[in-house]
Structure 1
Amino acid sequence: MDSELVDGRSGPGTSTVSDGLDPRRWKALALLSVAFLMIILDGTIVLTAIPSMKEELGFSTSGVQWVLTAYALTFGGLMLFGGRLADLLGRRRVFMTGLVLFVAASLLCGLAWSGGVLVGARALQGTAAAFLGPSALAIVMTTFPEGPERNTALGIWGGIGGIGATAGLLVGGSVTSGLGWEWIFFINVPVGLVALALSPVLLRESSDRRRPRAFDPGGAVTITAALVLVVYAVVKAPRTGWTDGVTVGLLLAAAVLFVLFVVIETRTAEPLLPLPILRSRMVVGGNVAIFAVGMTVDGVLFVLTLYAQQVLGYSAIQFGLMTAVMTGMAIVGALTGQAVVTRIGLRPVMVCGMVLLGSGCLLLTRVSADGGYVDDLLAAMLVFGPGLGAAFVAAQIAALTGVREQDSGLASGLVDTAFRIGAALGTAVASTVAVSRTQEVLARADSTLPTGPALTEGFRAAFAVTAVIALVGLVAALVLPGARKADADS
């Protein structure tokens, strides 16, 4: 072990995580998974509640989008900082702080009396999620030693991610229809309070006692600002255009800040991101792969939702129920993937996962304007689901393999950031392609052409692009070290 990880309950120096396996570890995983599910759901659960929020709080059409954007900006921009903060101050401490903030922000969201208050509360909720996510994953890393048990834990983690990624529409639609949009936030309060009460009982505190609590303010400011600008640019791009001056300016500013961040990190005694961690082919390959997974999955889910509702005419609740098969298959893929990784290595599982994701995307390029669930969607979901689970788990294990325990929070923040930025970019790219292709078809066609076929052409083009993105992930998977080389390359 590279650092002394102290059990906060028994006092400094009396017990370490490395002394043996924590008998509470599976209960701890259940607790951490609940928190993870909350923050994943809250990224998408609001989609079905947007019309109700707009009507009751007097949002404009553009203004209501900030309910989504505010969460995405703070969540995506602060995760790297949140992960390093967990390493320095204590992972359980940061996790519990994030829970308190998340519960408070959720309560404020539900009680919001104006659009401005709701947007501000969503920004606070995203900030809390940026502390919760990396610290929770870091606790998983320090609770389960590298090997079969950690792979199993990450398989369960991946299954939870699959549930969260696909269940938001169903949960949000049901709760909004039955209780009102406020309750998609209120339900976080009792769940969060129970998790907060159980945290001191089930979670060990861990931090590096020998490392000075030296922060890197320059690195924190530059990387956070750069990530926020990237997320904001890709969220705005589908509406303003990728060549719009504002979009280009934001991306250029982000690039300058990234360069400045690298310069700062090379000259700082205690950097936010120690650059040697990026020398690991396993860590870099895993992060590139999970970036591609995020782009593919969120790009597909976004376009799939539009196709089901705008072309096939399904309600949000109907479509949510129909995605249950994909959710179930994602869990199967995650659990199967983690079981196989230890036996045959990461690369075959990652390759298989990306092939399934790409195949699912290609099947979706066959959707039709007069189709249906069984004819157009079911086969693709049955293929895409297990690919999602297997690829997510394998990429995450790769990105965390060989990382020193003292850097577990940082590594968790890095992999969460890669996935979240990928998800935002995938949604933006798929949306842009779909809109552009639809407009092109309408411009060339007779004015009597129904909207459905034109929309379908756009959605087909977007699915084709996500297949190309999956191919990029496949390339990243192919360069991962083999099972026996993992330790040497990390």
Structure 2
Amino acid sequence: MDRTSIIKVITLMVTAFGIGIDFTGALMLVPAIENSFDADITSSQWVLNIYALFFAMTMVAGGRLGDMYGHRRVMIIGLTIFLFSSVLCFVAPGLDYLIGARALQGIGAGCVWPCTLAFGATKVSKPEHRALVMGLILAGVTTGNVFGPMISGAAVNFGDWRLFFLANVVFSCISMATAVLLMERETQHKQGEHIDFAGMGILSFAVLLLLYGLDVGADWGWTSVPLLLLFFVSAVLFILFPRVEKRVKEPLLLPQLMQNREFLITLGLNMFNVSAAFVGLLYFPQYMQKVLGWSVLQSALGLAPLTVLLAVGSIVSGTLYNDFGPKRLLFWGYLCATVGAASIVVMPAGLGYFQILPGMALIGLGATLTVGPSGTAAVCAVKPERAGLVGGLSFMTHLVYGAISVAGATAVMYVTSLSSLRKQLEAAGISMSEADQKVLNGGTLATDSAQAILRHLNPAEVEKVKAAISTAFDSGMNMAFAFATLSVAVGIVLALMLDEQKLHKVEG
């Protein structure tokens, strides 16, 4: 690449780095947020899910706005929103306020990310460098994924998890400065474009209802009428979505792409690769903190086999894409991720960190070989002027399914761990109300609610309860990864079905 292209790529990597820090760093804060706001895991998971959902649903609009008005301009607007919402996260007085601020962060990131991808895909000097540039941008994100947990760990060690969002403000300012100073203004844009707000609204509401149903299912009862009605409305909206898409002028799902079997398979490959990685990013740190008793900073270092592989692998997969093609990379990546998720389920309890280490490494390797190639395959399959739209669409499916996976896995985990806790307390001869069991099962023992329950027990009973909670969490985590294993395994089948030659003729 020439000097100008290298400067552009570095600028895009800086922006991607800031986005990557926010995602994994916030995940490490979940136990600290539970303690601060006296919340449980089914509520605190929204810190991840609401961000992923709004990030996903904004990306297609962000990509199309970039195509229409310039990727540089929309990127700077998105960074401004991201910076403002980071300040709101820093001053959040309660969990609901924090979740709202995270939703706004998702909107900002949803404007930044597809424009970053599109700028990299269309502004390099030679088309054959496109896969490498995409890999470098993803390396910027995943390098941020590595440093994010360390920054959040340091924030907690300094005594306040809110300091992490102050760091977000700093990196947002750096990203804005590099974008303004180093990225060239675009003079030609697509004309006559329209944004499918109807499709975005229906799909967003359908996913939001589904996630909320999975969140409250354990409290309402999985067969309760209100919950079934919630799932029914969500299903109706999902069914209504493609009908609406046929009527709008510029749908999210372009007909010429959606009628192509290979492109749909590629979108599926963008979806299922995220399940094990998202579940791992949520539960591995909690396992290290709640079961092994590690600090947030120790947990961040313990997560390195997953995050470092993601960072290094993005560059490697970008260089391998042209040599091996997406089919082989995706097949072996999905196979590694499936074996890794399954290993968490079958590894015997009591091994400590080594119970999760092999699975963590394999999931990281699997994500390395699937995330970049699946996104690159989708973007490279269309004309350059569609790069922003398709980049947003591919990562939209990626994040929406990631949020659904986390919600589904958390629902399975919560039910399993609660059942295990109940059986162990009965075996230990400790009588406890169902409400108290839910409090202990859902959060950490440092919350005010948990401490109030433990004060009614003698020291011997407290130790038995702590052991029971640790075992229950381990059982629940295993079932969460059983869910993830089945999900990721679908990708193996899709990778075998992919026909590369037909894929690259979508808009040839």
Q: TM-score range by the shorter chain?
A: 0.7 to 0.9
Gap change, CA 1:380 and 1:260, over 3 Å in 2: closer
Instruction: Read off the aligned partner of 1:312 and give its amino acid letter.
Output: L
Separation in 2, partners of 1:129, 1:453: 38
Instruction: Kindly indicate whether residue 130 of structure 2 is the aligned counterpart of residue 150 of structure 1.
Output: yes
Which residue number corresponds to residue 15 of structure 1? none
Say which is worse superposed, 174-183 or 340-349, in terms of deviation: 174-183
State the distance in 2 between where 1:118 and 1:206 align: 36
Shift of 1:40: 3.6
Per-residue deviation, residues 388-428 of structure 1 (Å, max 9, x unmatched):
11111121112222112222221121112111112112212
Among 281, 290, 312, the residue aligned to 1:310: 290
One-letter amino acid of the structure 2 residue matched with residue 126 of structure 1: G
Q: 1:76–1:310: structure 2 CA closer, same or farther, 3 Å change rule?
A: same
Contact 1:481 1:489 in 2 (8 A): no
Residue 79 (structure 1) aligned with residue 96 (structure 2) = no
Deviation at 1:262, TM superposition (A): 2.6
* The one of 354, 364, 382 aligned to 2:334: 354
Specify the SS of the correspondent of 2:505.
Answer: helix
Counterpart in 1 of 2:474? Answer: 456
Are 1:469 and 2:487 an aligned pair?
yes
Deviation, 1:97, is 0.4
Deviates more, 1:199-208 or 1:356-365: 199-208
CA contact (8 A) 2:27 2:281 kept: no
5+ residue gaps, structure 1: 1-20
Deviates further, 193-202 or 138-147: 138-147
The answer for the alignment partner of 1:176 in structure 2 is 156
Question: How far apart, in 1, do the equivalents of 2:494 and 2:165 lie?
Answer: 38
Q: CA deviation at 1:351?
A: 0.5
Alpha carbons 1:83, 1:412 under 8 Å: kept:
yes
Cα distance between partner residues in 1 of 2:32 and 2:419: 32
1:59-114 Cα deviation digits (max 9, x unpaired): 66587665555434432332222222222222111111001111122123324456
1:210/1:189 CA distance change after superposition, 3 Å: closer
Instruction: Output aligned runs, 1:35-434, within 5 Å.
Output: 35-49=15-29, 67-68=47-48, 70-112=50-92, 117-144=97-124, 148-165=128-145, 167-178=147-158, 180-206=160-186, 209=189, 211-237=191-217, 243-373=223-353, 375-434=354-413
| Contact 1:281-1:481 within 8 A present in 2 as well | no
Q: Retained in 2: the 8 A contact 1:284–1:399?
A: no
Task: Provide the rounded CA distance (Å) in 1 between the counterparts of 2:397 and 2:229.
Answer: 22
Change (3 A) 1:37 1:242: farther
CA contact (8 A) 2:66 2:388 kept: yes
Q: Any conservation in 2 of the 1:77–1:225 contact (CA below 8 Å)?
A: no
Q: Distance in 2 between matches of 1:233 and 1:157?
A: 35
Does the 8 A contact of 1:73 with 1:231 survive in 2? no
Deviation by residue 1:204-262 (Cα, 9 ceiling, x = unmatched): 44486452144444334334433444444445556656555455444433443344443
Q: C-alpha offsets along residues 301-338 of structure 1, whole Å, 9 cap, x if unaligned?
A: 32323332332222222121112122222234333222
Contact 2:263 2:506 in 1 (8 A): no
> Quick one: structure 1 residues 368 and 160, their matched pair in 2 at CA, closer, same or farther if it must change by over 3 Å?
farther
Q: Which amino acid aligns with 2:498?
A: L
Q: Equivalents in 2 of 1:322, 1:114: separation in Å?
A: 29
Return closer, same or farther for 1:116/1:306 CA change in 2, 3 Å cut-off: closer
| Matched residue, 1:447 | 427
The separation in 2 between residues aligned to 1:301 and 1:66, in whole angstroms, is: 14
- 1:351-376 Cα deviation digits (max 9, x unpaired): 11111111211222233432122x32
Q: Which runs of 5+ in 2 are unaligned?
A: 429-463
Q: Do the aligned residues in 2 keep the contact of 1:91 with 1:138 (CA within 8 Å)?
A: yes
Counterpart CA distance in 1 for 2:129 and 2:215 is: 38
Contact 2:257–2:506, Cα closer than 8 Å, also in 1: no
Distance 1:487 1:355 in 2: 24
CA contact (8 A) 1:234 1:424 kept: no
Is the Cα contact below 8 Å between 2:274 and 2:398 reproduced in 1?
Answer: yes
- Report the CA distance shift for 1:22/1:131 in structure 2 as closer, same or farther (over 3 A): farther
Cα distance, 1:189 vs. partner? 2.2
Q: What do the CA deviations read for 1:119-153 (whole angstroms, capped 9, x no partner)?
A: 44333222211211222222222223785412112
Q: Structure 1's 308 and 193: CA in aligned 2 closer, same or farther, altered over 3 A?
A: closer
Hey, what's the Cα distance between the residues in 1 that align with 2:13 and 2:4?
14
Deviation of 1:50 (Å): 5.0
Counterpart secondary structure, 1:398: helix
Deviation of 1:479 (Å): 1.5
TM-score, reference length from structure 1:
0.84
User: Could you tell me how far apart the structure 2 residues matched to 1:276 and 1:146 are?
Assistant: 27
3-state SS of paired residue (2:504) = helix
- 2:72 and 2:8 map into 1 onto residues whose CA distance is 11
CA–CA distance in structure 2, aligned partners of residues 273 and 116 of structure 1: 33
Partner AA of 2:155 in structure 1: V
TM-score normalised per structure 2: 0.81
- Determine the C-alpha separation between the residues in 2 that align with 1:363 and 1:64: 26
Q: Distance in 1 between matches of 2:70 and 2:152?
A: 34
**Mean alpha-carbon deviation: is it higher for 248-257 or for 119-128?**
248-257
With over 3 angstroms needed to count, the CA separation of the structure-2 counterparts of 1:479 and 1:157, relative to structure 1, is farther
Q: Label 1:243 to 1:352 Cα distance change in 2 as closer, same or farther (>3 A).
A: farther
- Report the AA paired with residue 355 of structure 2: D
- Residue 8 of structure 1: aligned partner: none
1:13 maps to none
* Residue 468 of structure 2 corresponds to residue 488 of structure 1: no
